[in-house]
Structure 1
C-alpha cells in the first residue's frame, strides 16, 4: 500500500544524515514505495479552512553531501496526503504551536504523526510531571526565591529553560556555586516562560539513556555519556553514544507511561532516563534511531512505518 507522505521538517539541506531520525524515516518510507513531499514550517498555509503547503517531491539517498533531490515547489492540499510527519526541531514556541493548530484541522483523516493536538498539550518537560514518582524532584517556576530554596534543599541542581532543546541553556549549579543570582537574572532576560530546576543526578556521569518507544512499547535505547568537561550528555554538544540494554527499572518506567502515550496518539516517542529517574518525554521530534541500529539494535524506522501503515489500513 503506497502512501503519500508529507514531511514538515527543518530544511533537508541543514541536517546531518548520520544521526538524523527524520532522514532515517524518509529512507524507509522510500524503500517501501511511499511518495515523499518535503516542506518547511514557513510554507504551511491555511486559507478558508483549507490546509495546504508548498511542497517539493523528495528523493533521498544515504550519501553524505548528496543525500537528497527536490522537485519543483507546488502548492498541495494536505488533506489529500495520507500521512504528515510533524518533524521540525524545537524550540517549542508560538511558531511551533501554530503549526499544530493548523495541522489539527486535517487530522486524523490525514494521519499527522505525532498527533498535533497532543504534541501541543504535552511539552516534554511538563508532560513528564504526570509521573512524579518516576522523576527526580523538580520545580517549575520563575520565582527566584523558590529556586533559591530548592537549591538550598538539594545542593547540586540543574537549571534549564522550560522549552529548550538539545542541551541548550542547561546549567549544573554545584553546592556552593555563587552564580545562581546572576544566572537567574540572565534567564529572566532571555526567557519569558518559567524555568525548570531539578535535583542533580550524579548518575549522569555514567550516561543519560535515550529510550525509543513505538506505540507505547520500548523498541531500543542508546546511552549518551557526557564529556569530562560538560554536565550535558546531548550528542549535539559532544555527548558520546554507546550501546546499552534496558534495565528492569527502565522497563517498569516504559510499562507505566505506555498507556498514556497510546491514548495521546504518540507513535514515536523518546524518553530520557538517568539512573532510576525519567527526566523528559520527547514527543516533538525525538532522535536516536540511527544510533540504535548502528549498535546492532532494532530497525526502528521499519517498526515506525509498520505502525503507521497499520493505522492507514
Structure 2
C-alpha cells in the first residue's frame, strides 16, 4: 500500500514516543510505502481533492531521540488524494476551523474513492469530550452548559466536581471544585467567559488516584492492555502532558465491558482508531483525532500496538472490514 499521513511537520515529532511514528514504522516493516503531507497541502482543483506530498523512507536502526529517523524518498509531488491506498488523518489538535476544513476536504476525497482513517465526517461528529454523552450509562453525572447558575446547582448537588473546557487537550483548563471552594466564581467566570462559553462539569471520580486509563480500540477490537496515567501527588489530572506517570496494565473485566459497549457503534461510523479515557468505571472522553499511547503500552508489555493497527488498516483497505460512507451520502 501507499499510505499518506496527514500530520504535523516531521521535525517537530518526538519520534521515540510518537504514535504516528510507531504506525509508520509498523507499516514500513510490513512493506508499505509512506508519504507525508500537512493540512495546508490539501487543496481542491476542478472538483478533485489533491495533496502535495513528500515521499519518505525510514532509517533503519535510527536514534529515535534524534531527527534523522526519516529521509526524503525523491521529490515532493502532487496527486489526487483518492490515488493513495490509504490516508491517515493524524494531525494533532487544536480542533480549529482549519482542522474542520481539512476533514471536509477529506470527505470530498472519500466521495471520489479515497480511503480515509479516521473518516473526516466521523471525526467532526465526535467532539472528544461531548461524545461521551451518547453513552450516559457509562459516564459519571455530567452537565454541559454555559450557565453558571446551572453549574453552581450541579456543584451544590455533587459537592466535588471537575469543570473543564470542551476544546482543551493535555489536561489544560481542568479544575477541581471541592466543597466551599473560595475560587468557585472566578473559575466559572473564566471558563465560561461570563456565561458565553459552553463547558463541561462532572462529578469527581475518586478512582483517579489509580490512573486515568487510555483504552485503545483498533478495528473494533480493544487492545488487551490499557495505559493508566497516574497523577502526581496532589494533582487531579493524570494526563502525561500534565506530569502523569504511564503504567501499562491488562484490561480489567470492567475495561473490556466498557470498550465493547462503545466499539461496535463507533467503528461502524468509520472510526478505525479510538482512544477511550476511563477513570474507575466511567468513560470521561472519547478520542478520535489522533489517539496516542502506542509506544508506552508496547514498551511495557511487549504487545505491538502499532502492528495491530497496521494489520487492521490492511483489512480495512482490502475491504474485509467495511468502512461505511453513510455520513457522506446524507451530507
User: Same fold judged by TM-score > 0.5?
Assistant: yes
Alignment of 1:125-274 (within 5 A): 125-189=129-193, 193-219=197-223, 220-274=225-279
Task: After TM superposition, list the pairs within 5 Å mapping 1:49-60 onto structure 2.
Answer: 49-60=47-58
Question: What are the superposed Cα offsets for residues 32-88 of structure 1, whole Å, 9 maximum, x if unpaired?
Answer: 221111111122211222111221112234522122223543222211111110001
Contact between 1:161 and 1:191, CA under 8 Å: does it hold in 2? Answer: no
Q: Given that residues 161 and 196 in structure 1 are in contact (C-alpha distance below 8 angstroms), is that contact kept between their aligned partners in structure 2? A: yes
CA distance in 2, matches of 1:127, 1:15: 28
5+ residue gaps, structure 1: none
Partner of 1:100: 103
Give the Å deviation of 1:16: 1.4
Q: Structure 1 residue 243: deviation in Å?
A: 2.4
Q: Structure 2: how far apart are the matches of 1:168 and 1:52?
A: 35
For structure 2, the residue ranges without an aligned partner over 5 or more in a row are 319-331
Q: CA RMSD in A?
A: 1.7
Q: Deviations over 1:129-184 (max 9, x none)?
A: 11101111111111111111111111111111112211111111222112121122
Structure 2 partner of 1:12: 10
Tell me the distance in 2 between the aligned counterparts of 1:125 and 1:77: 33
**Alignment partners' CA distance in 2, 1:49 and 1:168:** 39
Distance 1:26 1:192 in 2: 42
How many residue pairs get matched? 311
CA contact (8 A) 1:203 1:275 kept: yes
Indicate if the aligned counterparts of 2:128 and 2:286 stay in contact, CA closer than 8 A. Answer: yes
- Specify whether residues 17 and 78 from structure 1 end up closer, same or farther in structure 2 by C-alpha distance, changes over 3 A only: same
Q: 1:305 aligns with which of 299, 310, 313?
A: 310
Aligned partners of 1:68 and 1:170: how far apart in 2? 36
Structure 1 residues 286 and 190, CA, compared in 2 at 3 Å: closer, same or farther? farther
Match of 1:77 in 2: 80
**Structure 2 residue matching 1:127: 3-state secondary structure:** helix
Partner of 1:45: 43
CA distance in 2, matches of 1:273, 1:297: 22
CA contact (8 A) 2:103 2:120 kept: yes
Contact 2:146/2:195 (8 A) holds in 1: no
Give the Cα–Cα distance (whole angstroms) in 2 for the partners of residues 249 and 131 of structure 1: 15
TM-score between both structures, scaled by the size of structure 1: 0.94
